[in-house]
Structure 1
Amino acid sequence: MTTAPLVRRTDEDGVAALTLDSPHNRNALSARLITELTAELTRASRDPDVRAVLLTHTGTTFCAGIDLDEARHPTHDSAGPQRLLQLLRTIVESPKPVVARVAGHARAGGIGLLGACDIVAAGPQASFAFTEVRIGLAPAVLATTVLPRVDPRAASRYFLTGERFTAAEAARIGLVTLAAEDDLDTALTPILDGLRAAAPNALAATKRLTTAEVLRSVDRDADTMTALAARLLATDEAREGVASFLERRRPAWAT
């Protein structure tokens, strides 16, 4: 196993950029990546020189969701859902605004990160899908941050069907803040400049206002959603769904 960090930090003019850099599994939410990202977010939130956090990625995938290869291992850590929930809470509770830069694909649990972020900018190559139902799971933990943000009718459709949708559709339903038609970094410039121009204490207080409903959702549904996620992961249906995905075949129930 590589010892190189899966999350890299660089700082520029008050913005701490945290880059997901786990190309071997498309930046999937492995136990190690979650641990590293939670730690880096915590450090950035306590850094007086940081005005905002930029969450970005290498490769063509922002985040593929939970690490399915890890999830189907016989010694899989059953604390995975709780660990993911704590990561989402860390983003929501951070006094520093967290901006997501999505230049590629976001799937399943990876979209939960976007629900937790304060601002999400997606590029023209970005795509989104809640793929859990197709592998015998449910979008349980991510629902705590996504449902307060997204149009309810759209949530019903995309949660239930697992369809892929574009950045423009993600903006329409409230999942992302803006869908850049051309250069993503150009679209991000006024957002980051605006955060740099804000007074730190006022910025933290204002973030608390805008994240209050998301935080209530996380706290209210934490136990129920983590229990549901853990229970479904242990079913025969999920084992077949995960295996079929990794083996690139149709699951037994597909017609």
Structure 2
Amino acid sequence: MTALVQYDVEGPLARITLDSPHNRNALSRQLVTELLAALERAGDDDGVRVVQLGATGSVFCSGADLSEASSVPMEEGARGIVEVQRRILALPKPVVTRLQGAVRAGGTGIVAASDVVVAAERATFALTEVKLGLAPAVISLTVLPRMTSRAAALTCLGGEVFDAHAARDYGLVTTVVPTDELDAAVAAQVASLATGAPQGLRETKALLTRDLLAGIDQHAETVIAQSARLFGSPEAREAMAAFLSRAKG
């Protein structure tokens, strides 16, 4: 089986790369399983101080893998995405996400869970669930606390595409840079964070993520059930089938 997540270490940096460009790095069962394992590996490595999360291809992450909606139990898929967000937040090391391209739907939860997000100007975002009869249920655990309430209402109810500068203004992105400067900007950010002492990084991150983790622990089961119910509804199934048909065409 071809790996969908790549892992490598260079000095104090662990790079975790989503590598499933054939389906726009969708959050399939395999990709989620491998991503969780990579995050755990980075967390357990005492030599790693900073984790860089990125992706290959033109899309960072397209969200849930809709092609698995009929084969993977609804709750299992939702629970996996919740666990990815929780593990990023609970990791005792800062996570810097490199956004080279589009982020859609569930992929936004990964972005929101990250500590620092550096986006290329060409990156775009959309919370498209509403278009499919769904709601951004499981990713609401990280997305809503990061965004202003007005921005959340606009993007979640509208489901329209917005650019990287808007994502920064809304609270989803830390820094936006010209596309050809992305790698240099990410490297500079990683190098700066890597100067922190391990204990200082661990304890400071725990302070920063405390409320987000508490929210996940309090509301996870509710949004998992909501997500499963919506994905299994006739309205959503019809909309997803139509979407997949258009994508194949």
> SS of the residue aligned with 1:247?
helix
Per the alignment, residue 170 of structure 2 pairs with 173
Per the alignment, residue 132 of structure 2 pairs with 135
* CA deviation map 1:216-252 (0-9, x unaligned): 2211210111010000011001101101111128xxx
Per the alignment, residue 77 of structure 1 pairs with 73
Match of 1:101 among 76, 81, 98: 98
Question: Larger deviation: 217-226 or 103-112?
Answer: 217-226
Q: What is the alpha-carbon distance in structure 2 between the residues aligned to residue 224 and residue 26 of structure 1?
A: 28
Per the alignment, residue 145 of structure 1 pairs with 142
More helix by share: 2
Counterpart residue type for residue 42 of structure 1 = E
* Structure 2 residue ranges without an equivalent (≥5): none
Per the alignment, residue 253 of structure 1 pairs with none
Match of 1:236 among 234, 237, 246: 234
User: Are the counterparts in 2 of residues 148 and 217 from structure 1 also a CA contact under 8 Å?
Assistant: no
User: What is the root-mean-square deviation in Å for CA atoms of aligned residues?
Assistant: 1.1
Per the alignment, residue 223 of structure 2 pairs with 225
* Structure 1 residue ranges without an equivalent (≥5): 250-255
Q: What is the alpha-carbon distance in structure 2 between the residues aligned to residue 188 and residue 23 of structure 1?
A: 21
User: Are the counterparts in 2 of residues 65 and 110 from structure 1 also a CA contact under 8 Å?
Assistant: yes
Counterpart residue type for residue 133 of structure 2 = G
Q: How many residues get paired?
A: 245
> SS of the residue aligned with 2:3?
coil
Is residue 116 from structure 1 mapped to residue 113 from structure 2 by the alignment? yes
TM-score normalized with structure 1 length: 0.94
Is residue 126 from structure 1 mapped to residue 123 from structure 2 by the alignment? yes
> SS of the residue aligned with 1:148?
helix
Q: CA deviation at 1:189?
A: 2.7
Q: CA deviation at 1:215?
A: 1.1
Q: CA deviation at 1:77?
A: 2.0
User: Are the counterparts in 2 of residues 129 and 165 from structure 1 also a CA contact under 8 Å?
Assistant: yes
